Structure 1
Amino acid sequence: MKTTTLYIVMAALVAFTSCQEKKTGTMETKQVCINDSLAKMIKIDTARESSMKNELKLTGEVSFDENNVVKVFPFASGQVMKVNVSLGDKVSQGQVLAVIRSADVAGNYSDLTSAKADLAISKRQLEQAEYLYKNGISSERDYTEAKENYNKAVAANSKVREQIAINGGGNTNAAGTLIVKAPRSGFIVEQNITSGNFIRPDNSSSMFTISNMRDVWIKANVFESDIAKVKVGYAAKITTLAYPDRVFTGKVNNVGSVLDPDSKVMTVRIALANPEMLLKPEMFTNVVISNSESAKAVAIPAASVMFDSGKNYVVVYHSKCNLQVREVSIIKSVEDTTYISSGLKRGDQIVSKNQLLLYNALVQD
């Protein structure tokens, strides 16, 4: 009876010892050796000390680069007779965008006609005054006065021509029609007029906005609790619904100073090159912003960690016949790196590929 009781106590102690071993991080395992075939299938990495990375996931949308656009404003009031382009169209420099009938333009041409007539008259008067002065018939004063009148007529004519040039130059005619042309090549990213619209003299909005779309902005929303995690210069990775397997990279180049009063979010802006013209305005995007902290921790490949029965394990490599299953505590995983708070130290070697084969062999009953 005493022998049986002693056996039960010893069994309990063994069980307790086994439990204690798991708590310290080393699981009781069988001895397994790595043969040459298996050695070719696995990969061994070394735990290193590294600054921890932060990763913040946001949603946003594509917008054109507002610092690299041309806005086409109306230089005269009138009625839009025709619009030849639509939002998103590609246009070439000099292409006709719209036609406007304008009383201002018609008035400019009327003024030009008068200025031409005055110039012609003053020119003839100057020629006559010069002839009379050189032949001693009239005084120098008369000649000087005629010259001043001619110069005034030239200035008035030039002024009217400059007004016409501002209002479209050769893109107008005496009937008061203003032809609006594209000042540069690109894409129509904003359009604020349609056929039949009246443009008032006090209108301050642009008719069209043209962008070359080679550089775009990603505008993402940051909640108040995450504001401290975003700063200018942080790296960003962007994915879209249109190209789910394509990752675009850029940097945060602007952080908003105020929160939206309704949604309570702050807008951050990411500058992104768009040489292939894949990104279009208003596209929905997923944004991942990352940066490094000052704090350091032991880092290992995320693929080397195995999850079993609510715990995380790695296979520690000492030699081909000295392998060990060890429990680790994870701080966080960012991209393909996992940061460890306990269970490993810098310099420990771990199996990071096909380690599940070794794990199953080591812990098999």
Structure 2
Amino acid sequence: MKRELITCLSALVLLTSCEHKKEEVAQKKSVCITDSLAKEIRIDTAKTTGMQDELTLSGEVSFDDNRVVKVFPFSSGQVTDVRVSLGDRVSKGQVLAIMRSADVAGSYTDLSATNADLSIAKRQLAQTEYLYKNGISSERDYTEAKENYNKAQAANRKIQEQLSINGHGSTSASGQYIIKAPESGYIVEKAVTAGSFIRNDNAASMFTISDMKDVWIWANVFESDIAKVKNGYAAKVTTLAYPGKVFKGKVNEVSSVLDPDNKVMKVKITLPNPGMLLKPEMFTSVIISNNEPTQSVTVPASSIIFNDSKNFVVIYQSKCSMEVREVNVIKTVDNVSYISSGLKAGEMLISKNQLLLYDALTEE
């Protein structure tokens, strides 16, 4: 009985050995690359590189706060006319809106009164100076006349400066107040319409002007991805408006707190805006790229063959010496696959039309 059992085990081992030999023969069967096929394939070399990662985020275009001019009125009143619309290109000195202001009218009334006071004080000073020099008036009277003249002059100058704050010719005695563009650019914010009342305690600007040469992208990062985004990481921005066009920038700022409403962290991406294509409030898709310190064997993603829930590559040694090998793919980023096992740096593999050779090497 024992002898029969040993005989059976020996036969099983022999059968298993034969099966393994059959697999090796199938794996290493004689397949050669012809001269015509050599022109259709591409041979690449596995390399060791830093592992790259990508994170896709949603974002929104905003103007660069460091390159804007906010237009505030210096007096209260009612807006009678608005000459520009949101998105308009304006030039420095261009009229943006017109107001009727009781404050402006009052300032001209004050200016008229101070002009009269100044004229009177000037005449009194001249008369007192004449009398003082001829010994008729006292030094005290002369000093008092000079002080009255200086006060009248200061009061007059104050009103003139108030009227000139918005530029020469922007106000009139009838109370008209003209708001002009202090710089050239685009109207990116507009908070007034004809008929609007501007109060003295109004802290909001009437217009915001930006040159739009650079823009900001505010992207949303979920809590689970916060560790994947840092200052200086490269960013690629795409929009629905320009399919296929990629805008490149960098992460410029990472918020220290989460948004209390939607529980996301905001990151700011700064990028140039050639042709003024990107507009404020435009939705974007953002891909953040970074190089991790971890090293990994990398191959072109095109070299990977996916079959039967496994990944394979065709290893090239010579025209008549190739083999199919299973590899473990960690991830694929930008047409590069990162390999954790099954391949060593320096080994050559076929990355174009390798499926033809894979079929020839694995067919039974």
TM-score, scaled to structure 2: 0.91
- Please name the residue that 1:159 is paired with: 158
Q: Please list, as runs of the form range in 1=range in 2, the aligned pairs for 1:114-153 lying within 5 A after superposition.
A: 114-153=113-152
CA distance in 2, matches of 1:201, 1:137: 51
- Output one character per residue of 1:219-251: Cα deviation in whole Å (capped at 9) or x when no partner: 111111111111111111111111121111111
CA distance in 2, matches of 1:126, 1:36: 112
- Please name the residue that 1:218 is paired with: 217
- Please name the residue that 1:39 is paired with: 38
CA distance in 1, matches of 2:178, 2:33: 80
> What amino acid maps onto 2:264 in structure 1?
V
Q: CA deviation at 1:105?
A: 0.8
CA distance in 2, matches of 1:80, 1:88: 20
Gaps of 5+ in 1: 1-5
Q: CA deviation at 1:44?
A: 1.7
- Output one character per residue of 1:272-331: Cα deviation in whole Å (capped at 9) or x when no partner: 111221111111111111111121111111111121221111111111221121111001
CA distance in 2, matches of 1:219, 1:18: 60
CA distance in 2, matches of 1:178, 1:27: 91
- Please name the residue that 1:270 is paired with: 269
Q: CA deviation at 1:127?
A: 2.3
Instruction: Assess, with a 3 A threshold, how the Cα gap between structure 1 residues 143 and 41 changes in structure 2: closer, same or farther.
Output: same
Aligned length: 357
User: CA RMSD for the aligned pairs?
Assistant: 2.3
- Please name the residue that 1:48 is paired with: 47
Q: CA deviation at 1:32?
A: 2.3
Gaps of 5+ in 2: 1-9
Moved more, 53-62 or 136-145: 136-145
Runs of 4+ in 1 over 6 A off after TM superposition: 6-9
The percent identity for this pair of structures is 65
Q: Is the 8 A contact 1:27 1:324 kept in 2?
A: no
Instruction: Assess, with a 3 A threshold, how the Cα gap between structure 1 residues 80 and 335 changes in structure 2: closer, same or farther.
Output: same
Partner SS, residue 67 of structure 1: helix
- Please name the residue that 1:280 is paired with: 279
TM-score, scaled to structure 1: 0.91
CA distance in 2, matches of 1:281, 1:61: 8
Q: CA deviation at 1:167?
A: 4.9
Q: CA deviation at 1:9?
A: 8.1
- Output one character per residue of 1:136-163: Cα deviation in whole Å (capped at 9) or x when no partner: 4433333332222222211111101111
Partner SS, residue 256 of structure 1: strand
- Please name the residue that 1:173 is paired with: 172
- Please name the residue that 2:297 is paired with: 298
Partner SS, residue 274 of structure 2: coil
- Please name the residue that 2:357 is paired with: 358
CA distance in 1, matches of 2:19, 2:209: 76
Partner SS, residue 346 of structure 1: coil
CA distance in 2, matches of 1:64, 1:224: 26
- Please name the residue that 1:202 is paired with: 201
- Output one character per residue of 1:39-81: Cα deviation in whole Å (capped at 9) or x when no partner: 3332222111111112111111111111211111121111111
CA distance in 2, matches of 1:124, 1:172: 30
Moved more, 44-53 or 208-217: 44-53
Q: Is the 8 A contact 2:188 2:209 kept in 1?
A: yes
- Please name the residue that 1:3 is paired with: none
- Please name the residue that 1:82 is paired with: 81
CA distance in 2, matches of 1:312, 1:40: 25
- Please name the residue that 2:4 is paired with: none
- Please name the residue that 2:58 is paired with: 59
Q: Is the 8 A contact 2:304 2:312 kept in 1?
A: yes
Q: CA deviation at 1:37?
A: 3.1
> What amino acid maps onto 1:70 in structure 2?
V
> What amino acid maps onto 2:252 in structure 1?
N
**Residue 234 in structure 1 maps to residue 230 in structure 2:** no
Partner SS, residue 171 of structure 1: coil
Instruction: Assess, with a 3 A threshold, how the Cα gap between structure 1 residues 27 and 304 changes in structure 2: closer, same or farther.
Output: farther
Q: CA deviation at 1:168?
A: 5.0
Partner SS, residue 130 of structure 1: helix
CA distance in 2, matches of 1:150, 1:18: 117
Q: CA deviation at 1:347?
A: 0.8
Instruction: Assess, with a 3 A threshold, how the Cα gap between structure 1 residues 278 and 27 changes in structure 2: closer, same or farther.
Output: farther
Q: CA deviation at 1:345?
A: 0.6
